[in-house]
Amino acid sequence: MAEEGSSEEYMEIVSNAEFLDGSVIFHLVRDSVGFVLYMHQQIPSVLQDMTLEFDTLCTEFKELELDLTQSEVKKVSVRRKHISRMREIKREIKRVEKLMNTVSSLQTALQLMVREIPNVQKVMLVLGGSPIRPRYVYELFFSHGEVVSSGSGDFSKSKAAEMLSRKAIRALISKDAGSSSYPGPTKLFLLVKAPSSFNLPQHFLPKRDFRYSKKIVPFRLRFKCRTRVGEMDSLHHASQTRNSTCLKDAISNDFIWFQCRHVIKGLALEGREEE
């Protein structure tokens, strides 16, 4: 399996910001997960819409349930209508509940990850039956610029995160990502390259010798920060050249793969044409 490789192997996405903080990384990975699931026909609509629809259904069900218990005097026809609607909502909630709960758990894991690792280097999204035998692989590499922590833990979406997510999705679409898909539900696995001392056992398991099939050609994105002046570009380039060997050694020796415990299984979508 190829590692980071040269910049030519990646589609570069440049940010005007001086650094990529934990919140930006969180939203880039989350939006990439949503893109992969939707474009490969694992969810019926974009993840943001699904989350909103699911929350709305849960709220409506509680309101109908409360209305039935509190209303002693109500027409039989109205009660039947309420009960029928509650059954419909319950079926839909049951259909997507496991997926939405897994997405929520994965988001929690991502937030904890970026708090623990302020300079996340690489995240991999693997779609298929297992991580070592994938159908599609998406690699996200981050060149942070100035390294900073996620601060107060505010994960509201900034303009920088919104812009980078849009650029990333446009770049993937331009490379035909998601143009062909497995006709049926499959699994999405998330892995992160982190220091071997990284310790979140409730969310991530170490996979030191992880490799996937060499037959798979991954989609690769590199997120970079734009420096303020040309002199800083030159200095950064010189530093990278001087320390490239040491950096590669440090990555290979001290950084290993960790697999997220929360695996998202796609839905069996009705009415979607098989490719």
Look at the chain and report how many structural domains it folds into. Answer: 1
Specify the pTM.
Answer: 0.81
pLDDT classification of 103: cutoffs 50, 70, 90: very high
**Is residue 275 assigned to a domain?**
no
What would the mean pLDDT of 167-191 be, rounded to a whole number? 87
Of 49-53, 113-117, 156-160, 262-266, the poorest mean pLDDT is in: 156-160
The pLDDT assigned to 207 comes to 93
pLDDT classification of 252: cutoffs 50, 70, 90: very low
Q: Which of 99, 103, 125, 94 is nearest to 189 (CA)?
A: 125
Of 23-37, 39-53, 128-142, 236-250, the poorest mean pLDDT is in: 236-250
**Is residue 273 assigned to a domain?**
no
pLDDT over threshold 70, residue 160 = yes
> What CATH number has the domain bearing residue 43?
3.30.900.20
The pLDDT assigned to 273 comes to 42
**Is residue 191 assigned to a domain?**
yes
**Is residue 21 assigned to a domain?**
yes
Calpha distance 228→17 (Å, rounded): 9
The pLDDT assigned to 118 comes to 74
The structure tokens listed for 236 are 């950064």
Does residue 50 or residue 181 have the better pLDDT?
A: 50
The alpha carbon dihedral of 160, 144, 260, 264 has a sign of positive
- Alpha helices by DSSP H, 40-158: 47-70, 76-116
The pLDDT assigned to 144 comes to 66
**Is residue 2 assigned to a domain?**
no
Percent of the chain with pLDDT over 90: 50
Does residue 1 or residue 178 have the better pLDDT?
A: 178
Specify which of 122-126, 244-248, 266-270 reaches the highest per-range mean pLDDT: 122-126
Contact 114, 25 (CB under 8 A): yes
For residue 131, give its domain range: 7-265
Calpha distance 48→39 (Å, rounded): 14
* SS3 readout for 207-250: ECCCCCCCCCCCEEEEEEECCCCHHHHHHHHHHHHHHHHHHHHH
Distance of CA 18 to the CA centre of its chain: 23
pLDDT classification of 145: cutoffs 50, 70, 90: low
pLDDT over threshold 60, residue 2 = no
How does pLDDT run across 210-236, given as a tens digit for each residue?
A: 999 888 999 999 998 876 434 344 444
How does pLDDT run across 17-27, given as a tens digit for each residue?
A: 777 888 889 99
**CA 193-197-198 angle, 5° bins:** 55
